[in-house]
Structure 1
Amino acid sequence: MATNTMKALQLTRAVANTAPTLAKANLPIPRVKPGYALVQIHYASIQPSDRMNAQGGFPYTTYPRIPGRDYSGVVVEVAEETSEAKSWVGKSVYGTSGSTLGFNVDGTHAQYCLLPYGALVEKPAPLSHIQAATVGVPFTTALLCIRRAQVSKNDIVLVLGSSGAVGSAAVQIAKAMGAKQVLTAARRENSNPDIVLSGDISTLLKDRILSLTNGQGVDVVIDTVGDLSLMSAAMEQLVLNGRYAWIAAPRGDVDKSLSLDIFQAYRKGLSLLGCNSITSSVEETADQFRFMSDWINQGLIKAQDESDFERVKLDDAIDAGYGKTGKVVIDMA
């Protein structure tokens, strides 16, 4: 490395309980330490949770802090001289944050990032570096939901919000796992879902699900939408021992309470499973990537096309990335 400094984005907060400030910064390149590797970041996506973090939406974020969760890059330095540690140097890797990177440990919106060996996962060949930098949060969140719901080959699975990043990942993973049937539901008609979410949702879901499942209903609902009326309607379509896993809830100063018929819920033996990807460690999210690697290599699950993302330079990432709501990847070159 020709210099000992790097370009980065940095969150600072002068006064507690106020929104942080996001700014460009020149910072020292992290020094490697035992058990860690220095990764040169090639690309890092800006996830909705990154934007929320920049607005002060996570109370456990400490300051000053480099934000950023998902990334792809190359290992450039390790601390140990063991053959196992040295074997990582030069390898292309990818990953996501779990509960630490970008929150209480410096994240990936910088030219370099320090990562524990246990978090290193080699990038599958079918993924470009740009694609690899976009799959972390969506795919690990989807896998978390599906694992917690204990999806099996005997299950009929309904994915709400199937046109979104997490929802589309959940559809692919459920199919890769061999679920008996995977139904898609979304508001966007152009995504060609099995169920277009519009009008009288309760009647619509009941009629369409009975028709699509030959009157059986669904064993599992994966909810990526977080709409209370939709949640109530979808729960009614669960069969005996049904499982409902969700990752989202209404935002802002609105009612977040859900009315539940506990008599029917216990008679059916329903399981309600809130899924939060930020409760996992960075090593645990790495295990999720390893679990999915064979499916990626076999083409059973695929990342979105590079063209679906706007690519911006780090110098422009605050206005052109954090200041937008679309799909953005930061190019660290």
Structure 2
Amino acid sequence: MKAIHINQPGEAEIFETEQPVRKEGEALLKLLYGGICGSDLGTYRGTFAYASYPRIPGHEFSAQIVEIDSADAEKYNLHVGQIITCNPYFNCGSCYSCKRGFVNCCEQNETMGAQRDGAFMEYITMPVERIYDGKGLSPLELALIEPFCISYHGVSHADVKPGEKVLVIGAGTIGVLAAAAAKAADAEVYISDIAPKKLDHAVEIMGLAGRILNDSSEHFTEQVQEVTNGNGFDVTIEAVGLPATFLACVDAAAFGGRVVQVGVGKRNADFNFTLLQKKELKLYGSRNALKKDFLSLIDLVKSGRIDITKIVTNKYELADGAQAFKDFSEHADKMLKVVIHFADPE
């Protein structure tokens, strides 16, 4: 079978490998769609904090069940031919976090495509307990559920309430979907980025309240003050992973506000931490997602309230998978969600 391989930063290729053989408690899946995540792009660029090489990328995907044991199928309400998505975060089950139920931030977490090989192959195997019924959603929709879960999980930390002003910094996939999740909570949502076209696109497809162009710290502050009448935002969400954008979230938050850190980066932030005390800010880190996030969002998308396929700007076939990474790396300011089509369901 064919798979996508990132050999080292800046070098991706399509290569031939053996089809996996499932073990007890696993199902064999045929991949249908895969989305290139910001972390996959970071692995390709050499900027992702958890990257190691060589690596098969991919943890946003939809698939079709090819083989599954009958007992597992009955227990988890699964069947051959079913279109599904999966939870790609492998937790150890024995660390302090896992024992307390925080399996999304397991101390030995291995996310597909990051600490272990990912899903960008024609066939993969997955533990059956990580497979979730797609409930009739299209393969493209199901490939977008995982990034929506990352965003939704972060927004849920902030307990966003109707009418609150929310600022999301970062108009990439996670940021746009975080804005969508906050809007679904009936908040007044603004989005910020350095790329005007991405901002305009995000506001248009998600029906957001407005945009804040982050072309300078002075202009950014001016716009924040104007939009919030000098009060700051009730909630700010960082979805980039840079020190400057984290500090912008702290600065833009209102006194008594909440700040959620979702973006992943390698660099340190140097700031006056007393500002956290002065504003009495609540600061939340958000990592991965939980099963309940997947199940809730499958139902939300099925309800028709949110069309997540609007975030897709570019589609590639598997044969062009290496080119997809190169193009995305060179034109990230113009490309939002890049997906790779692996196969159609049978």
Give 1:3's aligned residue. Answer: none
1:179-210 per-residue CA deviation (whole Å, 9 max, x = no partner) reads 3x3233344163456243255534653x5445
Structure-to-structure mapping, 1:98-109, within 5 angstroms: 98=89, 99-109=110-120
Give 2:131's aligned residue. Answer: 120
In the TM superposition, what is the alpha-carbon distance from 1:20 to its structure 2 partner?
9.4
Give 2:293's aligned residue. Answer: 288
State yes or no: 1:43 paired with 2:33: yes
In the TM superposition, what is the alpha-carbon distance from 1:109 to its structure 2 partner?
0.8
Give 1:331's aligned residue. Answer: 341
State yes or no: 1:72 paired with 2:54: no
State yes or no: 1:185 paired with 2:192: yes
Inter-partner Cα distance in structure 1 for 2:293 and 2:6: 28
In the TM superposition, what is the alpha-carbon distance from 1:41 to its structure 2 partner?
0.5
Instruction: Please report the RMSD computed on the Cα atoms of aligned residues, expressed in angstroms.
Output: 3.2
Give 1:265's aligned residue. Answer: 276
Inter-partner Cα distance in structure 2 for 1:243 and 1:212: 17
> Structure 2 vs 1, CA of residues 35 and 261 (structure 1 numbering), >3 Å: closer, same or farther?
same
Give 1:166's aligned residue. Answer: 174
> Structure 2 vs 1, CA of residues 46 and 182 (structure 1 numbering), >3 Å: closer, same or farther?
closer
The structure with more helix, counted as a fraction of residues: 2
Q: Which amino acid aligns with 1:38?
A: L
For these two proteins, the number of residue pairs brought into alignment is 306
> Structure 2 vs 1, CA of residues 201 and 92 (structure 1 numbering), >3 Å: closer, same or farther?
same
Inter-partner Cα distance in structure 2 for 1:210 and 1:19: 40
> Structure 2 vs 1, CA of residues 8 and 232 (structure 1 numbering), >3 Å: closer, same or farther?
closer
In the TM superposition, what is the alpha-carbon distance from 1:120 to its structure 2 partner?
1.1
> Structure 2 vs 1, CA of residues 248 and 23 (structure 1 numbering), >3 Å: closer, same or farther?
same
Give 2:159's aligned residue. Answer: 150
Deviates more, 1:296-305 or 1:18-27: 18-27
Inter-partner Cα distance in structure 1 for 2:55 and 2:226: 51
Structure-to-structure mapping, 1:247-262, within 5 angstroms: 247-248=262-263, 256-262=268-274
Q: Between the two proteins, what is the percent identity of the paired residues?
A: 25
**8 Å contact from structure 2 (residues 78, 133) kept in 1:** no
Which of 88, 94, 111 is the matching residue for 1:97?
A: 88
In the TM superposition, what is the alpha-carbon distance from 1:55 to its structure 2 partner?
5.4
State yes or no: 1:25 paired with 2:20: no
Give 1:239's aligned residue. Answer: 254
Structure number with greater Rg is 1
In the TM superposition, what is the alpha-carbon distance from 1:216 to its structure 2 partner?
4.2
Which of 4, 17, 24 is the matching residue for 1:9?
A: 4
Inter-partner Cα distance in structure 2 for 1:198 and 1:306: 21
**8 Å contact from structure 1 (residues 134, 329) kept in 2:** no
State yes or no: 1:130 paired with 2:140: yes
Return 5+ residue gaps in structure 2 as ranges: 90-109, 204-208, 329-334
**8 Å contact from structure 2 (residues 255, 281) kept in 1:** yes
> Structure 2 vs 1, CA of residues 149 and 26 (structure 1 numbering), >3 Å: closer, same or farther?
same
> Structure 2 vs 1, CA of residues 324 and 182 (structure 1 numbering), >3 Å: closer, same or farther?
same
Q: Which amino acid aligns with 2:139?
A: H
TM-score normalised according to structure 1 size: 0.77
Return 5+ residue gaps in structure 1 as ranges: 1-5, 13-17
| SS class of match (1:324) | helix
Structure-to-structure mapping, 1:269-280, within 5 angstroms: 269-277=280-288
Inter-partner Cα distance in structure 1 for 2:220 and 2:116: 46
